[in-house]
Amino acid sequence: MSTSHSFENPAFSGASDENLPDQKKSPYYLASPGSSHSSKMSTRSLYCAALTGIIVFALGLGLGFLIGYFAYKAPGEGTSATGNSASNSATMNGATTPSGSTRPPTTQSTRPPTSACNGVCKEELKCPQSAPITQSESSSSRGIFEMVTASEMEEVYEFMVQQGLVDQRPSSGSPSLQNTYIYSISLYLPNKDEAISHLDEGLASPGRYADVHVHRGNRNVADIMEYRVGPLGGAMTATALYNDGELPYNSRPRDGIEWDGITEQVTLAMSILRPLLMESFDGAYYPEGGMTFHPQAPPGLLPEERETRFVMALLVDGTARGRDLHPLPLTGTVRNPGTDKSQWYSYNFYYLNQGPFRTAEELLEAFQNGTIRKFAMPRGHRQTLFETTFPKQDGNKPRDMSNKAPPRTYEPAGRRYTVHDHTVKWMDWEFTVFGSQLRGPGVMNVQFKGERIVYENSLNDVGLIYASDVSSGANTVYMDATFGLGEWQNVIIGVDCPEHATLLDAAWWNMGAQRSVSAKAICIFEMDGQEAIWRRKDRFAAGLRNTYLVARFPMSVGNYDYTIDFRFYLDGRMQSTGMASGFIQASFWDQGNPHAGNDKTTDPFGYRVSEYTHGALHDHTFGFKVDLDILGKKNKFEVIHWKAGNVLDALKTQNNNITLKPPYYLYNETRFVEWETLATEAGLKLSYANPKIWTVVNEEHKNKWGVPRGYRIAPMSAYGQVVPDSHPAMGALSFTKYQCAVTKRKEDERFITGSYDQNRMANPTGSLERMLDGENIVNEDLITWVSVGFIHVPTSEDVPMTARVETGFWLKPWNYFDTTAVFDVPQYVDTMDHSITERPPAPTDCYQPVKENCYFCN
């Protein structure tokens, strides 16, 4: 529908002179014979009339162009995604675009530009509205895998206060270390047998319970405790999961309350060292003088220990963690066990790796006496930090055409999936997204075409081991679940997820405020892969465009940002990925370090990556718990060995009685596969030299061709841990040794690591190595603990931001279906004789309004 008018010249419109008034049948007014006017015009008059007509025509033509230009460039252009099926067919040789396709070009649309429409017109051209997310009315009606909501967390807190299990939150400020307070709240997953009976047989629900971690500082002997609290929405009870004192207080996760006590000790020490600070670090001092500190981990190897190493760093305006790029060569240790902060103190100071000095006074004396090597930043260095650290566009070097809007995706038919609470259905897939405040995200009860394939696929931990030639970073190890992989924040729309994504809530417990926090932290969307999931050009041209569904969890954990994806494909494949970005945690680059290389750009632990910044090498290992249920819980794990050898070796794997090589083999070398069923629990490693395929199968259920149905576990990389077992961290981080470990499922082996093992690595409460205790795993309910990662040797391209580094694994059908499992959706098919022609649904001609994204706007 258009409101523009048409102006036509009769000479070009096909209009007949007979239909015009008499005086306009001729381009000039000519007097009829017998009139008092001459029948001919003078040459001068004719010339003037012609010139006037030309001028009027030119003015009209120019004015028309101007009107058309400004109508087309009306305000709001570029703020909508439009599509037109006719123009798409023209530009794609007949191929049509399914939901989630790249936005079609608006300039080829046969309809008027949406910017020229009035409000009614725009409303008519909007893409179809999707059905809203539906939600349960009460806690008792929610699905058994639904995350604990913010309101439910408040109910748990009030219940525990009433039971005397935690203290009332203070009217202002945070609790103290002498209080008993909640550290985290997450869903306590139900007993699997009870859950399956409820889901498959309609038996009573096992209920939903909260997993509540509590710091108990008001006891005679302080400790930490976990409670199972629930059922949510019912008459709640609290069950302690450990004995009193079983979890020593000093093995607790670090929190903001402890941080405040550490800050007091660092402040005292730095006030003594202020002359050293100002002389060495461009006039900076601590506190409130352009300097800060960073506590590192672990705080001890045994649960009875508690010592926090810290490194001083320069502040960067506008950032909280820009400091990680600007550490200083000044470190110390705070001894901070127990709840009595008056007994804490700082000691063991290093300056340019010189030390340890028992006290800050001893270090200052050595500095002032000139008995140690000194360092001084040039004046004005701190004024350069924002420009080199804050991740903004370099306006001096704009990239050609970067001011044009890039491609975007849209949903021409609205969403092709539905969401109820956190349960998603798409193209015969159904699953529930969930997350834990400590452990991070996962998906539960994953079904395809009505059959459960995965009971649980969840991130459990991320392990990092650093190496660097500095007095702090030389011994740094992180287990990120300790710090909270699920302290959710709102996603960044347009960066984390496309504008048309559906956002879901996730809640966590804020320890400092003793209140729940809810965020739009999960995004669900259908993705256009812009590629073929299959194709064939033969005597026909055919294929299927690859579209898939994504459940995405972006997370900020310290200096790094992780994005965890669970992706679901039309052919029954699933992909789980972990992506890392953000600030690297660097160490100080000491130009005078005697351990550096001759050219002073490298040392044994990496590169110089900025003025005073060394990129400390480290790794990231993502540990997942993957509970595959292939047509039931009784499964077995098969290893398929990809081998090479002579022909008889190959044939004897099936029939040992064969003695002669058949004559049709022209040469005696071949490749073949050999099957191995794992009989007992085992940890497995990938090797490029000895390829293996890992499968979980159900030998009681076979496909049409008599082959046991199953799924393959396929890591996206073969990265392996090189740290030896003798390293102090490897007891707690034993999962990093294997790409896959297979165990018999047990309810008390809930996670790949212990919740408190960051702070007791030499005596961990949970260790994958301990789970591998030789139990039978043939036709049992199996857990596959999948570990995938990457090594990170930071380079100058990691400053100021590490561009995405990704790893993950696939779960792929392995004889699970009788044929390729995509031919129940429309394909693209053309035959030479046009006897068979198929097309996916054509997109509608519509637009989706795109609003400017502003993260911190109300």
User: Catalytic: which of 469, 480, 528, 781?
Assistant: 480
Candidate list 183, 286, 548, 560, residue with the active-site label: 560
Which residue in 174, 205, 175 sits closest to 190, CA to CA? Answer: 205
The partner residues of 568 in beta bridges, in order of sequence, read 549, 574
Nearest CA among 188, 190, 250, 170 for reference residue 216: 250
Residue by residue, DSSP assigns 671-694 as: EEEEEEE--B-EEE---SSS-EEE
Q: Which residues have CB under 8 Å from 690's CB, separation 6+?
A: 641, 642
Residue 560 annotated to the active site: yes
Is 828 a known active-site residue? no
DSSP 8-state symbol, 780: B
Residue pair 324/313 in contact by the 8 Å Cβ criterion: yes
Which one, of 333, 328, 334, lies nearest residue 315 by Cα?
328
**C-alpha triplet 415, 417, 421: angle, nearest 5°:** 115
Beta carbons within 8 Å of 796's beta carbon, 6+ residues apart: 607, 609, 610
The alpha-carbon radius of gyration of the chain (Å, integer) is: 35
Q: What is the phi-psi region of residue 116: left when phi exceeds 0, alpha when psi lies from -120 to 50, beta otherwise?
A: alpha
CA torsion angle for 822, 823, 826, 829 (degrees, to 10)? 110
* The amino acid at 51: L
* Amino acid letter for position 191: N
d(CA 245, CA 225): 8
Residues whose CB is less than 8 angstroms from the CB of residue 16 and which lie 6 or more positions away in sequence, other chains included: none
Instruction: Check residue 450 and give left, alpha or beta (phi > 0: left; psi -120 to 50: alpha).
Output: left
- Cβ(424)–Cβ(433) below 8 Å: yes
> Which residue is it, tokens 């008018």?
5
Q: What is the DSSP letter of 839?
A: -
Residues 6+ apart with CB under 8 A from 387: none
Q: DSSP characters for 170-186?
A: PSSS---TTSEEEEEEE
Residues belonging to the active site: 480, 560
